[in-house]
Amino acid sequence: QDDNPLENMVQTPELPNVEDWSFMEKLKIEQELFGFYFSGHPLDRYKTEITSFSNVDYSKLDMIGIKAPVRIAGFVTGKKVIRDRQGREMCFFDLDYMGQKIEAMMYASRYADFANLLEQGNVVFVKGTRNEKSEDEFKIIVDEVIPVSEIRARFSEGLCIQLDKNIMTDDNMSRLAEITRKYPGEHKLAFKLNSTEYIHNGNQQNDTKVITTYSKKLKISLDEQYVEKIKQIFGDENVFYLGSGF
């Protein structure tokens, strides 16, 4: 006799085997259901690209001059398409950078080339200028839109690691050499160091200079796994890409 007769009366449904949602899919659903993210942020995985290729301080946007060139990243949170006087489509859209909203627009002459990239939820890099008609608010006129996932491959010449005496240990440098040998490629590997010179003129003064030096023997691949491993050793804040004019 069964101890629990209910087990024979209730059938447990078989759950289908489905692929797990991608990181971005999870974030989109969290935003739709709860109005906020708790698994992460859409820009988290691109922090190194954003730090390396943005030319603005996101905490001081109001200090950027009118018509000044702007390179900035964010994900598209709103979009409004209208027609200009000639009947061509132009676009107003919002970029979100870590909760900070940035208003942007594209004239018809440029929007036609990038309309497919400005869908809600897309993470993009934009290039343009500060809007001269919005002196009291930071708004930008966009000339070019690039998926942030393509920035590294299209514009980076290599990887740079910022070193100081606290992280430039024998163990860390040995791990760097071991990992780097597994990811050979054609890109540069550079190191940025603070060099302190002591000047004796009665009183001792510290004159700190930043020196960038390039490895002559090692050429690397900018494989995402390699970059992540390097960041695990030296910290996200000490690893960035070498730009090539974006």
Least reliable range by pLDDT among 32-46, 145-159, 162-176, 214-228? 32-46
Orientation angle between helical segments 224-234 and 170-181, nearest 10 degrees: 180
pLDDT at residue 38, as a whole number:
72
pLDDT-derived band of residue 206, with 50, 70 and 90 as boundaries?
low
Residue 10: pLDDT over 70: no
Q: Above pLDDT 70, what percent of the chain? A: 85
Rounded to two decimals, the pTM is 0.72
Closest of 176, 190, 187 to residue 223, by C-alpha = 187
Which contacts (CB < 8 Å, 24+ apart) does range 149-153 have? 149/46, 149/123, 151/46, 151/49, 151/53, 151/125, 151/246, 152/49, 152/222, 152/224, 152/241, 153/222
Q: Which residues are within 8 A (CB) of 116 and not within 5 positions of it... i.e. 6 or more apart?
A: none
